[in-house]
């Protein structure tokens, strides 16, 4: 099999392999140089180590991850992220099926979906938090309650006090 490759092809493959090794070596050299310069500059006080830290302090922090409970919090965060993604995907698929199945519901929901799609997604987080959190809070202004708590979210009554 090796004899079936021409001499020129072997030379080309060798040059390509050497070039890839040189590129990889240069990338490693740049990375090591950057980390070394960062460490030296923070140790000399040129870079404020409180703001930018230093590679050695970062490594020490990573070594202590299991002692401060960060790994447990990381596990919980990953679990909640996966559950949120899967439930959001399932809910989205269900809503898409309903909109595809019923032309009437699709027509009714169309302007609302357009408005929701045009909103920045970052702005929806606080809105949802406020909306969901409203069922557990009461807003008092001069002793007058503006939201009356109810056992069911849909039964929250808005009471406007004019005075």
Q: Which three-class secondary structure string do you get for the chain? A: CHHHCCHHHHHHHHHHHHHHHHHHHHHHHHHHHHHHHHHHHHHHCCCCHHHHCCHHHHHHHHHCCCCCCHHHHHHHHHHHHHHHHHHHHHHHHHHHHHHHHCHHHHHHHHHHHHHHHHCCHHHHHHHHHHHHHHHHCCCEECCEECEECCCCHHHCEECCCCC
pTM: 0.43
Per-residue pLDDT of the chain (163 residues; tens, 9 = 90+): 556 889 999 999 999 999 999 999 999 999 999 999 999 999 998 988 888 889 999 888 888 877 777 778 889 999 999 999 999 999 999 999 999 999 999 999 999 888 888 878 777 777 777 766 655 544 444 444 444 444 444 444 444 444 4
Q: Where are the domains of the chain?
A: 1-63, 68-118, 119-163
């Amino acid at each position: 099999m090796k004899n079936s490759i021409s001499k020129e092809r072997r030379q080309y493959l060798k040059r390509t392999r050497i070039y890839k090794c040189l590129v990889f070596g240069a990338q490693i050299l740049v990375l090591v140089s950057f980390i070394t310069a960062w460490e030296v500059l923070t140790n000399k006080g040129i870079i404020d180590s409180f703001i930018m830290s230093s590679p050695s302090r970062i490594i020490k922090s990573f070594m202590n991850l299991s002692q401060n409970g960060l790994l447990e919090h990381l596990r919980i965060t990953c679990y909640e992220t996966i559950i949120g993604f899967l439930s959001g995907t399932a809910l989205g698929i269900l809503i898409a099926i309903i909109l595809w199945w019923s032309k009437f519901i699709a027509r009714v929901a169309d302007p609302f979906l357009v408005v929701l799609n045009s909103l920045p997604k970052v702005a929806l987080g606080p809105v949802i938090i406020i909306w969901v959190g409203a069922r557990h809070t009461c807003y008092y202004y001069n002793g007058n309650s503006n939201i009356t708590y109810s056992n069911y979210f849909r039964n929250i009554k808005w009471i406007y006090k004019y005075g």
